[in-house]
């Protein structure tokens, strides 16, 4: 089924599903149902697209395969040619989430798109989902594939992994685009935390008619692992974290991107930027005080549509290609 078919079917179910009808279900049950669905969306993003995006040219990878790293069989796709970019998708998604922006990236660059642990064509393995571990996996995977220093783009869950990769292996990352991700759990709006904590295998049955589930079972090596994936993701999101002290370990030129209606508090994103050295003072007439890093707040964009927002691609692609405003001298 095409991306837009999924979207249309999903919207139709939202309109006609008796679970959302106030005349067929008690208020408390409806509220619980809506909260659980919201929690699942909060993990990352749905796999819906707009009509224009569903008609966009599909980019065919030159190489696909699997590599076993630390007990996880990672599926990857390599597209284009030029300097390498590692592309990391959002939670409960896959590399296909970036299909709208992939042509613009692979036109000049080699793009290594990886399905994260338990997602898409990658196996779940027998270990918990931890961003620090997956970041180490990406480091090892790049070595196996024969790549050295790369630029990295990560969205949501993938943005957290991109940050951890740059902090744990700074020599590996040259330019870094972190999209809709923070450095601490309290970066989320408070109402998101109980929703995320509720994610688990008990939600699997209610998801079987959603685009998210259908795209998962279409490519997963073990479709029966979907409830386990929900459990692992719930366990991961219930763990508190604060990586403030690790931000200073990032040496890559970094772009932070968030929507003005994102699930992360704008204060948190600005604090992230300040920890990276930005937002400290006026840049000066000769840009002598400008940070090497950048911040973009996209108007009218939510967390759930960020991965397919044209403004996101238009912001990230020039930065990752080294275009735009030059880095001040002495801040290379």
Kindly report, residue by residue over 79-95, the tens digit of the pLDDT.
999 999 999 999 999 99
What number of other Cβ atoms are within 10 A of residue 206's Cβ? 14
pLDDT tens-digit readout, 236-274 = 999 999 999 999 999 999 999 999 999 999 999 999 999
- Residue 181's contacts (CB-CB under 8 Å, 6 or more residues apart) are 154, 155, 156, 157, 158, 159, 160, 162, 163, 264
User: What is this structure's pTM?
Assistant: 0.85
What is the bridge-based pairing of β-strands 173-179 and 253-261? parallel
pLDDT band at 55 (very low <50, low <70, confident <90, very high): very low
The set of residues, in sequence order, having a beta carbon less than 8 Å from that of 191 and lying 6+ positions away, is none
Instruction: Please check whether residue 95 is in contact with residue 115, taking contact to mean a CB–CB distance below 8 angstroms.
Output: yes
Q: Is a pLDDT exceeding 80 seen at residue 18?
A: no
Question: Judging by DSSP bridges, how do beta strands 110-114 and 294-302 pair with one another?
Answer: unpaired
pLDDT band at 33 (very low <50, low <70, confident <90, very high): very low
In the prediction, which pLDDT does 210 show? 86
Average pLDDT of span 317-330: 79
The pLDDT-based confidence of 45 (bands split at 50, 70, 90) is: very low
pLDDT for res 59: 79
Q: Which of 52, 45, 101 is nearest to 313 (CA)?
A: 101
For the cut 50, the answer to whether the pLDDT of residue 329 exceeds it is yes
> Could you give all domains of the chain from N- to C-terminal order, each with its CATH number?
1-50+61-324 (3.40.50.1820)
Provide the pLDDT for residue 331. 62
Q: What is the mean pLDDT of residues 60-84?
A: 97
Query: For 116-125, how does the pLDDT look when each residue is reduced to its tens digit (9 = 90+)?
Result: 999 999 999 9
């Amino acid at each position: 089924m095409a991306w837009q078919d999924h979207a249309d079917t999903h919207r139709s179910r939202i309109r006609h599903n008796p679970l959302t009808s106030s005349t067929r279900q008690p208020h408390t049950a409806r509220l619980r149902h809506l909260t659980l669905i919201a929690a699942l969306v909060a993990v990352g993003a749905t796999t819906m697209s707009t009509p224009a995006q569903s008609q966009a040219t599909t980019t065919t990878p030159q190489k696909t395969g699997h590599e076993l790293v630390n007990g996880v069989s990672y599926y990857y796709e390599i597209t284009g040619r030029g300097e390498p970019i590692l592309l990391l998708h959002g939670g409960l998604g896959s590399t296909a989430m970036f299909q709208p922006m992939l042509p613009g990236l692979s036109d000049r660059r080699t793009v290594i798109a990886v399905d994260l642990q338990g997602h898409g064509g990658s196996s779940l393995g027998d270990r918990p989902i931890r961003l620090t571990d997956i970041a180490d996996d990406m480091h090892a995977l790049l070595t196996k594939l024969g790549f050295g220093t790369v630029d990295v783009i990560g969205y949501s869950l993938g943005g957290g992994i991109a940050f951890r990769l740059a902090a744990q292996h700074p020599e590996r990352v040259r330019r870094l685009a972190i999209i809709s991700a923070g450095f601490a759990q309290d970066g989320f709006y408070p109402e998101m935390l109980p929703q995320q904590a509720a994610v688990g295998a008990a939600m699997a049955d209610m998801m079987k008619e959603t685009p998210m589930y259908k795209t998962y079972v279409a490519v997963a090596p073990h479709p029966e692992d979907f409830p386990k994936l929900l459990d692992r993701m719930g366990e991961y999101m219930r763990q508190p974290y604060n990586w403030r002290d690790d931000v200073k370990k990032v040496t890559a030129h970094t772009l932070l991107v968030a929507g003005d209606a994102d699930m992360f508090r704008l204060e948190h994103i600005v604090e992230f930027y300040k920890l990276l050295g930005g937002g400290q003072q006026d840049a000066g007439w000769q840009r002598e005080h400008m940070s090497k890093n950048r911040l973009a707040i996209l108007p009218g964009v939510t967390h759930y549509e960020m991965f397919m927002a044209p403004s996101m691609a238009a912001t990230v692609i020039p930065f990752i290609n080294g275009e735009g405003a030059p880095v001040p001298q002495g801040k290379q």
